[in-house]
Amino acid sequence: MSYKDKMGRYRTQSLFHEFRSVTPELTPMWTLKDEAAGGLPSLKALYLACGDPTEYSFAMEAFGSWNQWLKIKASKAIGPYLEGWDMELELKLKSDGLRSVIGEAKGGGKSSFNAAKYLANGDWNKATKRGRPSKEEVAKELKIAAKLDAEFADDATRIGLSVINGDKK
């Protein structure tokens, strides 16, 4: 796989099926669709499967280069396709964490509960933030909370609100 052009520059648009008309002489390697299409793997599916909020392991697995990923993210043409991927990944991690919390609440163990709580609260993301959250951060958290509430309402009803609230009976 060649992630650079003949002049040794990182390829950006030419890597994707959606931009094949821009450089028809170069074979695309990915699609930006949610699922594989046109015989090409989905970059978004790999991004979510890597489950890495730092994006480093994803960049290395997809392109073998952090700088390549930075160039792709900076592309004005590709940027709109990437919008929301980080928020969806964060939501996925929180969802996975909450599923573990619910599973742990049913089982009663403590160590996996604390690990799941750590993910569900987004503590991995709070370490670098300081001060009052911006309006955008507050709005983002409200959107995530609303989606999580909707997703886990059935589970909460099934196992009882006392388990979700942390009450022990």
**Would you say residue 24 has pLDDT above 80?**
no
Which amino acid, residue 9?
Answer: R
pLDDT, tens digit, 9 for 90 and up, residues 28-65 = 899 999 999 889 999 999 999 999 999 999 999 999 99
| Domain housing 155 | 85-164
Establish if 8 belongs to a structural domain: no
Q: Please, what's the b/e burial string for 18-49 (b: 16 or more CB within 10 A of its CB; e: otherwise)?
A: bbeeeeeebebbbbbbeeeeeebebbbeebbe
Predicted confidence at residue 129, as pLDDT, reads 53
Last residue within a domain, chosen from 82, 105, 137: 82
What is the DSSP annotation of 58-81?
HHHHHHS-HHHHHHHHH-TTTHHH
Give strand pairing partners of 30: 16
Predicted confidence at residue 163, as pLDDT, reads 46
Average pLDDT, the chain: 80
pLDDT, tens digit, 9 for 90 and up, residues 89-115 = 988 988 887 777 667 666 667 666 665
Query: How many domains does the chain contain in total?
Result: 2
